[in-house]
Structure 1
């Protein structure tokens, strides 16, 4: 019906791509994960630095350091699985045969360690944004799409005829497609951020999901 390269085709096809729903799931999980990371890091680092004057804080800081590395590694895999991006390894040096101390020093010198910490901190405000945008868009879309059913059940005020409910339903279809593109754009930004901060090299190009068609006129 539509040319595969047409803007209308790309606009509508977003609803039929698996990546769109993986992107949405990633965005929904961003807020709880980001909140947990932020609370853990703020509490752990604050406690560690406060108690470091009596040396008790040193092991706490070491544990927090080890934990945020593993969390960053988990986030890297999460981005690869859900956002379909390619991220270079966090460590490119050979670690076999090295002592625990040598491995610890390598991680301290590794830029990904500190970029990963930045990523975990940024994930909290980004998670708030993602949650608000995703929940609002999904709620708005569903409320419009279910307008005819709500009218039949008598639960909608301000709609006096079935044709009005059907018109709202049609508007809901358009809003749903727009919402998917907006959420794909947020996922696109999250993927770019993961590539930049969670890989050993910022030069690797990301594999952008096919459904990230937030600009439907320039493809």
Structure 2
């Protein structure tokens, strides 16, 4: 039996409505999905954890790097003094700098293990590990020469930047949404909006100084002038209610944006932490 043009049109209309219903369920259902709030928790944790990772790695590596620069400086500027002080300085570098580097690398392995746990619990992301070491000797060798160790170190350093970006995104998205949704509470108030009270300036700078030799790295200065970013003013309750309704839709879009950023973070985490070493505490060498 052949279908009539009318039945085909009805089927097409039904398909369109089914797609619209599915899209509406996906768009508005973002508020009710647990994964949305797990993603927000992951983005919130990225900021303090990123600062903590950066502090641990930089503090632990500062002394070995400083001793290494001192040794090179002495070899270049005062080669005769190196004959007398070179051996003691080299011993200090090996006896203090070497263990500190090993501690930093061990800490990076445990911190990457923490990141894998967070990715598993909050982002539902399973990251495959490398095979566990079968002996202490193999663990020490892989600590320095395994590619996964250095991938983890690079990831932990990058988490500092990602954490700051996450915090800015969450703060701005929440403030913008609240300013719109709460419009009926503050309409006719010309002071309501998102403002920068004081200039913001961030200068990433790394300085090493030894005697008269200074290495100063400051690649770029990021600054935002004080002033008004977003202003919100309506002079009637009806307009304020309309703005509030728009704010609800904006809030839904912001939640989807948070989910999209968390998805990107998940892909990035899976790429860098794949085949990294397991934790020494949860899977020690036998």
Same fold (TM over 0.5): yes
Task: Say yes or no: does 1:106 pair with 2:157.
Answer: no
Shift of 1:139: 1.1
Is the 8 Å Cα contact of residues 188 and 233 (structure 2) preserved in structure 1?
no
Structure 1 window deviating more from structure 2 (143-152 vs 113-122): it is 143-152
Partner of 1:27, secondary structure, is helix
- For residues 20-75 of structure 1, the C-alpha deviation after alignment (integer angstroms, 9 at most, x for no partner) is 01101111111111111112212211212323642321111111111111011101
The structural deviation recorded for 1:76 is 0.9
Residue 161 of structure 1 corresponds to 236
Query: How far off is 1:3 after superposition?
Result: 4.0
Shift of residue 147, structure 1, vs aligned partner: 1.4
CA deviation after TM superposition for structure 1 residue 155, in Å: 8.2
- TM, length-normalised to structure 2: 0.63
- Compare the two structures and name the one with the higher strand fraction: 2
The whole-number CA distance in structure 1 between the counterparts of 2:36 and 2:18 is 21
Partner residue, 1:78: 118
Unaligned runs of 5+ in 2: 1-16, 69-89, 193-231, 277-286
Q: Say if 2:185 is the partner of 1:149.
A: yes
- Following the alignment from structure 2 to structure 1, what is the Cα–Cα distance between the partners of residues 24 and 178? 22
Report SS of the residue matched to 1:6.
Answer: helix
- Contact 1:34 1:123 (8 Å CA) reproduced: yes
1:37 is matched with: 53
Alignment check: 8 A CA contact 1:49 1:61 kept: no
> Number of aligned pairs?
196
Higher alpha-carbon deviation: 151-160 or 52-61: 151-160
Shift of 1:106: 2.6
Give CA deviations for 1:98-131 in whole Å, capped at 9, x if unaligned.
Answer: 12x3212133333221111111011111111111
Q: CA RMSD in A?
A: 2.3
CA deviations 1:74-100 (Å, max 9, x no partner) are 0111111111111112x324x34x12x
The answer to whether structure 1 residue 127 and structure 2 residue 178 are counterparts is no
- Which residue does the alignment assign to 2:127? 87
Contact 1:83-1:191 within 8 A present in 2 as well: yes
Offset of residue 154 of structure 1? 11
Larger radius of gyration: 2
**Mean CA deviation greater in 123-132 or 49-58:** 49-58
Give per-residue Cα distances to partners, 1:160-193, cap 9 Å, x unaligned.
Answer: 2110110111111111011011111110111111
What is the distance in 1 between the residues matched to 2:238 and 2:275? Answer: 57
| TM-score, with length taken from structure 1 | 0.81
Partner of 1:18 in structure 2? 34
Question: Matches of 2:259 and 2:39 in 1, distance apart?
Answer: 6
